[in-house]
Chain A
Amino acid sequence: MGPSRRSAIWIAPLAVGIALPWLAGGNDYVLSVLALAFIYAIATLGLNLITGYTGQLNLAHAGFMAIGAYTVGILTVDHGVPFWWAFMLSGVVPAVLGMPIGWLSLRLRGYYFAIFTLCVGTIINLVIEKWDGLTHGVSGIIGIPAPPGFGPVQFSTPRAQYYLALGALVVMTWMMQRIVRSLVGRSFMAVRNSEPLAEALGIPLMRTKLLAFVLSVFYAGLAGGLYAGTIRFLGPDVANIAHTFDMVTAMLIGGLGTVAGPIVGSLVLPWITQYLQFMQDYRMLVFGPLLVVLLIFLPAGIVGSLRNWHARRASQALAVAQPDAAPAHEHRASAAQRHGHA
C-alpha cells in the first residue's frame, strides 16, 4: 500500500465524523458521548505509544490524564488563568512530571515496570484525594469554564464541543502517524521487539523509552485538559485506575501497536456500553471476560486482524503469481503482523 492510499483510508471516517451532527439530527446525547469517546481516544493513542509500540504497560496513564485535567481545573478556577493558556499547560505539566517518574520507572523492565506504574497511579489517585488545599479533595473542582471561542467560533454547545474534540483527535492522530512512521517510531518498535537487539543496533534504550513515555503522558495530559473543558467538573475519580483499564481494553479491542486501533477501540467501547446500559456498574462482567477472550482468540484486535487478513490475501495473490517466493514472504508478513507493526 502506497502512502497516498494509506492516507485515503482516513478520509471516509473523517467525512462521517464531520457529517455526524447532521446525521444524528440534533441528538445532543449522542454528540456528548462521542465527544467523550474522542477525548479518551486521544489518551488511548498515547497509551498505545508506550504500550503498543514500545512494549511497556504503563498502568498510571489515567493518573497522568488526571494531572492534565487538574492543571486546567486548578489554573482556571483557583487562579483565573484563561482556559487556552491552561490547556496548553495541560500537556506540558504531565510531560515534565513524567520525566523523573519515567526515568525512575523505566529502569525496571516488563512486569516490574507495570507494577511500579500501578503504584504510581495509586499514589496520584491518593494524593489528588487527600491534598485538599490544591485539588479540593473529594469535593472536587466545580465550575470549570467552557473553552472560550475564537471570534465567531464558540465551544459552548454540545455540537461545538463535539467538533472541538474531533478536531483535537484529528490533529493528535496525524501527529501520532508522523511519530510512528519516523525513525524515532521505528526505534520504539525495535525496543519493543527486542531490547538487547535494539541496543546492539546502537539505539540508546533509556533515552528512547523515556521519549516514548513523555510523549505518551503528553497525550494523556492534553486529553485530560480537554476532559476538564468538556465535563467542567473534576473529582479524584478521574485518576481511578479503572480508567486505565478501560483504555487498555479499548486499545486491545482496536489493536495494539496500530494508529487506528485505539480510535476504533475507544469508539466501540462506549457503543457496547450503550447496549449494556441495563447492567450499569456491572459492565465489567462482560468486559473482563471479553478482554481475556480477545487475548486468546483475537490478540491483534479489530484493526490488526483486518490488516492480517489483508496481508494474507495479498500474499496469497502473490503465491499464485510466484509459487516459489511466496511462502517465505507470507511467513515474514504474518510474523510481523502478529506483533502489530504499523
Chain B
Amino acid sequence: MHGPAASISNCLHLDAATPFESMDQIVQLLFNGLTLGAIYGLVALGLTMVYGVLHIPNFAHGALYMVGGYVAYTLISKLGLGYWWAMLGAGTTVALLGMLMQALVFAPLRKAPELYDMIGAIGVMLFLESAAQLIWGAGFHRLPTPYGQVLQIAGMPFPLQRVLIIAAAFVLVSVLHLFLTRTVTGSTILALAQDPQGAALVGIDARRVTYLVFAISGALAAVAAVLYAPINLLYPTMGGLVIVKAFVIIILGGMGSFPGAILGGLIIGMAESFGGFYVSTDYKDIIAFVLLVVVLSVRPQGLLTQGAR
C-alpha cells in the first residue's frame, strides 16, 4: 500500500542527495532530519497524549493525519482559503473527528478487553482511508503552499516550507508545554495521565478531559499534515507509514512521555535523513523499524522510562 507512494516521496524530499561540500552536506542533512523530526514529533505527541490518558494505542491516528491534509487541500483548492486558514480549518475538523471517534468507538469499548480497543481503532482507520479514497480519489494530490521560495543562508539553500515546519513545530510544542503546565485545564490532563483515581478524587471530570485530549491530538496530527503535505504528497494511505513510525517513536521515548515523543521524533528524523544518505535510500523507511528492534532487544521498556512495564 505504501509502495509507489513511498518511492515518490523519496525523490521529493531527498534533495540532500545532490552533491554538496561535506560540511554543507552535514548541515543539510541535519536540517532535513530536523524537518522530519518536527513532523514525526508532532504526530507522536498526539499519539502519546491519547495513550497517556486512555492507555489506547490509537491506530487511527495516522488516518486523522491523512484527513487533516485532505481537508486543507479542499479548503484551499475548492474554497480558495489561504494556507493558514486552511490549517485552522483542518485542525478544527480533525479535532472534532477525534472527539467523535472517542464518543462512538472508544467510550462504548471502555470496559472491553484491550484487544477490542485496538481492533476498534483499526476499524476506524480502515473506514477513514476508504472514505478518503471515495471523496478525493486514490491518486496523488499536491497541497499548494505560498512558501515555495528557497532561502539562501551562508550560501546554502533552505526551502522556506521546511524552515516553516521547524518553526511551527517549535511554537506548537512550546504553547502545548505552557498550556499543560501553566493552566488549570492543562494540568487536569497531566493529572489524569499520572493517576486516574487521584484525578477523580480532586474532582477532575475524566470524560471531559478525555474529549479534550482527543481534540488536541487530532488537531496536532492535522497541523503536522498541513505543514508536511506541500513537500510530500497527499494520498489515502499516507498515514500508514507515519503512524507506524510514530509508534516506534513513542515506544523509543516511553509511551505516554511528552519529552520522549519529541526526542524520539528527532532521533528517527535524523536517523532517516543520515541513513537515507549514507546507507540506502531504498531502505530509508526501514531504518526506524530496525532502530526499534535494536532498542527493544536491549531495553524493552524504552529509552526514557524507568522500571518495568
Interface residues of A (CB under 8 A from B): 51, 55, 57, 104, 107-112, 114-116, 118-120, 122-123, 125-127, 129-130, 138, 236-237, 240-242, 245, 248, 252, 256, 281-285, 287-292, 295-296, 299
Q: How many A-B residue pairs have CB under 8 A?
A: 120
Cβ distance A181 to chain B, nearest Cβ, rounded Å: 23
Closest residue to A111 on the B side, CB-wise?
Answer: B57
Given contacts A51-B115, A119-B244, A296-B108, contact A288 B1 (CB under 8 A): no
The residue that B122 contacts in the complex, of A129, A283, A291, with Cβ under 8 A, is A291
Q: What is the CA–CA distance of A51 and B122 in the complex, to the nearest angstrom? A: 15
Given contacts A109-B309, A242-B1, contact A288 B130 (CB under 8 A): yes
Which chain B residues lie closer than 8 Å to A115 at the CB level?
Answer: 57, 247, 251
Contact between chains at A284 and B282 (CB < 8 Å)? no
Among A57, A120, A291, A292, chain B packs the most CB atoms within 10 A around the CB of A292
Per-residue interface assignment for chain B, residues 267 to 309, with 1 indicating a CB less than 8 Å from any chain A CB and 0 otherwise: 0000000000000001101100110110011001000000001
Contact between chains at B300 and A107 (CB < 8 Å)? yes
Cβ distance A194 to chain B, nearest Cβ, rounded Å: 12
B196 proximal to A (CB < 8 A): no
B126 proximal to A (CB < 8 A): yes
Which chain A residues lie closer than 8 Å to B127 at the CB level?
Answer: 284-285, 287-289
Which chain A residues lie closer than 8 Å to B108 at the CB level?
Answer: 296
- A sample of 22 inter-chain contacts (CB < 8 A) reads A51-B115, A111-B57, A111-B118, A114-B118, A115-B251, A116-B251, A119-B248, A122-B241, A123-B289, A130-B282, A237-B1, A248-B119, A256-B115, A282-B131, A284-B126, A284-B130, A287-B126, A288-B126, A291-B126, A295-B109, A295-B123, A299-B116
Q: What is the CA–CA distance of A104 and B244 in the complex, to the nearest angstrom? A: 18
Q: What is the CA–CA distance of A282 and B244 in the complex, to the nearest angstrom? A: 23
Which chain B residues lie closer than 8 Å to A282 at the CB level?
Answer: 130-131, 133-134
Q: What is the CA–CA distance of A127 and B138 in the complex, to the nearest angstrom? A: 24
Within 8 A of A (CB), among B102-150: 104-105, 108-109, 112, 114-116, 118-120, 122-131, 133-134, 138
The residue that A111 contacts in the complex, of B114, B126, B290, B300, with Cβ under 8 A, is B114
